Amino acid sequence: MLDLSSDKSIYIQIAESIENEILLGNLKEEEQAPSTNQFAKAYQINPATAGKGLNLLVDEGILYKKRGIGMFVAKGAREKILKKRQIAFFNEVLPEIIVEAKRLEIKTEEIVEYLTGLEGGENK
C-alpha cells in the first residue's frame, strides 16, 4: 500500500511494495509483476512514476523485462532483496537503535535478553 502523503518518493514506495510482495511469497520467480498502468490506475499516479519504480528493480536485477509482455520476477530476486535489506538494517537501522539505547541507558545485555525472549515467544 502506498502512502501518497509520505516524504518517501512514490517510485521508491512502488519498488519497496514489489519487494515486499516477493519477500512474502506473493510474487514468485518468473511471475509477472504488476504493470505501470496497473499502479497508475490503482493509485491515480503518472505511469512514468510507476515505471521509474519498476525500472529501479530492473536495474537491481530483481525484475526483468519481456519485450511487449511486461516485467517479471528474476531468479534469485528474493535472496537479492534479503541481502540488500539486511545490509541496510545493519548500516542504517541498528546504529540508530544503539544510539537511542545508550541515550536511554539500556545495556546491551538487556537488549540481547529482550530479543532472546522475543525469539522464545516471551515479551509479546
Reported as a single tens digit per residue, the pLDDT across 62-84 is 999 999 999 999 999 999 999 99
79: left (phi over 0), alpha (psi -120 to 50) or beta: alpha
Residue 54's pLDDT is what? 94
Query: Rounded CA gap, 115 and 14, in Å?
Result: 31
Q: Which regions in the chain score pLDDT beneath 50?
A: none
Three-class secondary structure of residue 48 per DSSP: helix
Where do we find the cell 502506498?
2
Out of 3.40.50.2300, 1.20.5.510, 1.10.10.10, 3.40.50.720, which CATH number does the structure's domain 10-76 have?
1.10.10.10
Residue boundaries of the structural domains of the chain:
10-76, 78-119
Q: What percent of the chain has a predicted confidence (pLDDT) above 90?
A: 71
Helix residue ranges per DSSP H, 25-122: 36-43, 47-59, 77-88, 94-103, 108-119
Where do we find the cell 511486461?
70
Residue 18's pLDDT is what? 95
Total-model pTM: 0.82
